[in-house]
């Protein structure tokens, strides 16, 4: 069964159909790409999937559960996590605390427990520290656990953002232009990281990307958006050789 099943998802802002009838089905463990020219509505799709925008039409199912129109917190709990096009880490917080923030909904203790510093708080915080360090180790960030996130080099900030998203224990991970602003070396390292995340965490990943090398290198399937509509969909090689897709990218 598909992890993500989207049917005729649409949203209009005033008269503008930013996304119009977007349909996609992503299987568990798939690495799926969403591409399209600037302003095609890719990030809007992400905002619809994560509950930032409410769709005007359409249905979104995550692992069989209808999550259409739910708010960001409910969707986070249901199991969708994301990273951002322009990195949005909590820059003034240490690297470790950024990941711990990701676990926010997975471990609970009451505010009073926190204020009174009861044993339960220490117990949960210790578990959080251990689990967060495990994730940081996977990304090779464990040595920088106490560094402020804003002081990390760019490539590591990207990794930390993925680590923080994984801490929410998602079923589906959305990456918004993970290679933006990276040089070819960093990009190829990122490709390894994404593949590794998929294999190590048994994760399903949907990513938006402009870097065709990355897209053709790691995505198994693609959807192409143009002016909010689906232009093509299918196996990566097939889609990329589609004349309409080429035309849309070259602007003909």
When asked if residue 44 is in the footprint of another protein (CB under 8 A), the reply is no
3-state secondary structure of 136: helix
User: Closer to another protein at the Cβ: 62 or 89?
Assistant: 89
Which one of the spans 6-14, 32-40, 123-131, 240-248 is the region binding another protein (CB under 8 A)? 123-131
Using the rule CB under 8 A, which residue among 20, 97, 177, 209 binds another protein? 97
Can you spell out the DSSP letters for 176-234?
ESTTTT--HHHHHHHHHHHHHHHHHHT-EEEEE---HHHHHHH-SEEEEEETTEEEEEE
When asked if residue 100 is in the footprint of another protein (CB under 8 A), the reply is yes
Contacts of 34 (CB under 8 A, 6+ apart): 42, 45, 206, 207, 208, 222, 223, 225
Extended beta strands in the chain, E state = 2-13, 16-27, 31-35, 57-62, 65-66, 80-82, 172-176, 204-208, 221-226, 229-235
Using the rule CB under 8 A, which residue among 11, 19, 48, 128 binds another protein? 128
Q: Do 139 and 160 touch, CB atoms closer than 8 A?
A: yes
Cα–Cα distance for residue pair 62/189, rounded to 1 Å: 30
Site string for another protein, 162-201 (x = CB under 8 A): --x---x---------------------------------
When asked if residue 213 is in the footprint of another protein (CB under 8 A), the reply is no
Site string for another protein, 130-169 (x = CB under 8 A): ----------------------------------x---x-
* Least gap, CB of 4 to another protein (angstroms): 17
User: Closer to another protein at the Cβ: 81 or 141?
Assistant: 81
User: Closer to another protein at the Cβ: 33 or 170?
Assistant: 170
Phi, psi (degrees; rounded to nearest 5) at 161: -65, -40
CA angle 201, 215, 24 (to 5 degrees): 75
For another protein (CB under 8 A), the number of binding residues is: 34
- Written as six digits, the tokens of 212 are 């065709």
Using the rule CB under 8 A, which residue among 38, 111, 185, 241 binds another protein? 111
When asked if residue 53 is in the footprint of another protein (CB under 8 A), the reply is no
When asked if residue 121 is in the footprint of another protein (CB under 8 A), the reply is yes
3-state secondary structure of 141: coil
3-state secondary structure of 113: helix
List residues near another protein by CB under 8 A. Answer: 50, 52, 72-73, 76-77, 81-82, 84, 88-93, 97, 100-102, 104-105, 107-109, 111, 114-115, 117, 121, 124-125, 128, 164, 168
């Amino acid at each position: 069964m598909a992890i993500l099943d989207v049917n005729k998802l649409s949203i209009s802002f005033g008269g503008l159909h930013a996304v119009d009838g977007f349909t996609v089905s992503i299987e568990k463990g798939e690495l799926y790409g969403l591409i399209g020219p600037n302003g095609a509505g890719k990030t809007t799709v992400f905002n619809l999937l994560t509950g930032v925008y409410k769709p005007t039409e359409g249905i979104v199912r995550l692992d069989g559960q209808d999550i259409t129109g739910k708010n960001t917190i409910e969707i986070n709990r249901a199991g969708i996590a994301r990273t951002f096009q322009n990195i949005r880490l909590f820059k003034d917080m240490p690297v470790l605390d950024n990941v711990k923030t990701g676990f926010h909904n997975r471990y609970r203790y009451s505010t009073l427990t926190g204020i009174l510093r009861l044993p339960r708080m220490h117990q949960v915080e210790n578990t959080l520290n251990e689990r967060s360090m495990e994730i940081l180790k996977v990304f090779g960030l464990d040595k920088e656990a106490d560094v402020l996130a804003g002081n990390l080099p760019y490539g590591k900030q990207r990794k930390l953002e993925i680590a923080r998203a994984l801490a929410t224990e998602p079923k589906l991970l959305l990456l918004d232009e993970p290679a933006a602003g990276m040089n070819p070396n960093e990009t190829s390292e990122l490709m390894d990281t994404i593949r590794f995340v998929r294999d190590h965490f048994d994760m399903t990943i949907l990513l938006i990307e402009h870097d065709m090398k990355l897209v053709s290198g790691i995505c198994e399937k693609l959807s192409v958006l143009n002016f909010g509509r689906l232009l093509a969909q299918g196996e990566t090689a097939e889609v990329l050789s589609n004349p309409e897709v080429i035309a849309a990218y070259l602007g003909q």
